Amino acid sequence: MSAAKKPIQIPNAPAPVGPYSQAILKGDTLYISGQIPLNPGTGLLELDNIEMATTRVLQNIDALLHEAGFNADDVVMVSIFMKDLNEFQAMNQVYAAYFKGTAPARQTVQVSRLPLDVTIEISCIAQK
């Protein structure tokens, strides 16, 4: 019998804006929904530049990881959606500072539009 899926819902990450969970824990795997640069404390988007936006998204992911008993070293796959790949290098500098150990597998794609017209959205999978 497989483990039941457990929703991870916390105030330290943006509340879902649709019919989905912030994250789902199933067995030893955590699936984190796409996070945007929304500050859950203020309710404001942090969009001054791609570095600020990426930092906020990773802080939101970090809060969900810790709530479920995981950390950045447990992340095995990351999906990044950006409005402008010309900002790739700047985003990558912030990203590299967050994932200091063995970097997870990753895909990065440019998209025409993201929720609330943000510049970046990141989802990931972590495993113990």
Sheet with 75-82, edge to edge strand ranges: 5-8, 23-26, 29-35, 120-127, 75-82, 105-110
The three-class DSSP label of residue 125 is strand
How would you write the pLDDT of the chain (128 residues) with one tens digit per residue?
678 999 998 888 888 878 899 999 999 999 999 999 999 999 999 999 999 999 999 999 999 999 999 999 999 999 999 999 999 999 999 999 999 989 999 999 999 999 999 999 999 999 99
Pairing assessment for the beta strands 23-26 and 29-35 based on DSSP bridges? antiparallel
DSSP 45-62: B--SSHHHHHHHHHHHHH
Burial (CB < 10 A; 0-12, 13-18, 19+), residue 33, is: buried
- Partners of 7 in the beta sheet? 24
Q: Phi/psi at 77 (nearest 5 deg)?
A: -145, 135
Name all domains of the chain by residue range, CATH numbers in brackets.
5-127 (3.30.1330.40)
pTM of the model: 0.95
- Take residue 81 and report the two structure tokens written for it: 């959606």
